[in-house]
Amino acid sequence: MSDLESSTTIRDYIYTVLDANKNWAQRLNQTFPQYFPDPEDKQAPKILWIGCSDSRVQESDATTALPGNVFVHRNIANQFHLHDDSALSVFAYAVKVLGTRHVVVVGHEHCGGAITALKEARRPPSADQLERHHTLYDSLYHLVETFHINEIHDKDSNDPNDAITRWLTPLVHRIRKLELPAEEGTAVRIVIEENVKLQIEKIVQLGDWVRRNVREPDGRPATVWVHGWVYDFATGFIRDLNVTRELGGGSE
């Protein structure tokens, strides 16, 4: 195949997708029209899925969900940053407006984001970072931990490479505190689980907000459960990490 033919094929791939969509929609409208939600009905998803962008993870398939069952927020390595308006607004809309009561943070095996963070954590710090640690880390340890100075440091850059580094910085900090085995597969597995736990810790910090803002239709304070799962796209199974936390209601 010539370069021209090859580039035409790649460009035309998008039309293949649109054709496939047409076939799919026609078939379902004829055979199972109730698959499509009635716009008159409000959505009431039972689950907010916070997962990784990885194309091999399909939350609807994995949970056998129909349209309307799962509210979704996905990004690189399923992060939930407390300064991320995208994540915060999805969370607020799900629990306050839509009445979603189960939030699942879902990591997945072989997560490229988690592996990248692990590599970064194992990289010896640069002279610049050492200097930064020397001046800030010793005296402002807690501030560094809370506000992630590295992220603020590079905030003005719109270089996508910087964005990924900034995005994974809290996870890299967490990994540096872990005692990981040398064996790569086991270390990655631990990082993936620890990553899920880290995001849950952040969501738990929204407990006060949930208590003050989220009510059941009858006015009682609502309870929101946050669960930690790991999905294995090679087998389709979800593993429950049994780290469920309870927010709002009568909880602390």
Residues engaged in binding Zn ion (CB under 5 A): 52, 54, 111, 113
CB of 178 to Zn ion, least distance (A): 18
Print the SS3 string covering 53-116. CCCCCCHHHHCCCCCCCEEEEEECCCCCCCCCHHHHHHHHHHHHHHCCCEEEEEEECCCHHHHH
Measured torsion, CA atoms of residues 196, 109, 121, 117, in degrees rounded to the nearest 10:
-80
162 assigned binding-site residue: no
Question: Which CB sits closer to Zn ion, 113 or 207?
Answer: 113
User: Could you give the dihedral angle defined by the CA atoms of residues 139, 131, 76 and 188, in that order, rounded to the nearest 10 degrees?
Assistant: -90
Residue 138 labeled ligand binder: no
Q: How far is the CB of 111 from Zn ion (least distance, A)?
A: 3
What are 62's two structure tokens? Answer: 């994995």
Q: Which is nearer to Zn ion, 90 or 191 (CB)?
A: 191
What's the closest the beta carbon of residue 110 comes to Zn ion, in angstroms? 8
| C-beta closer to Zn ion: residue 52 or 121 | 52
Minimum CB distance to Zn ion smaller for 48 or for 52: 52
Is 102 labelled as part of a ligand binding site?
Answer: no
Residue list, annotated binding site for Zn(2+): 52, 54, 108, 111
Binding-site residues sit at 52, 54, 108, 111
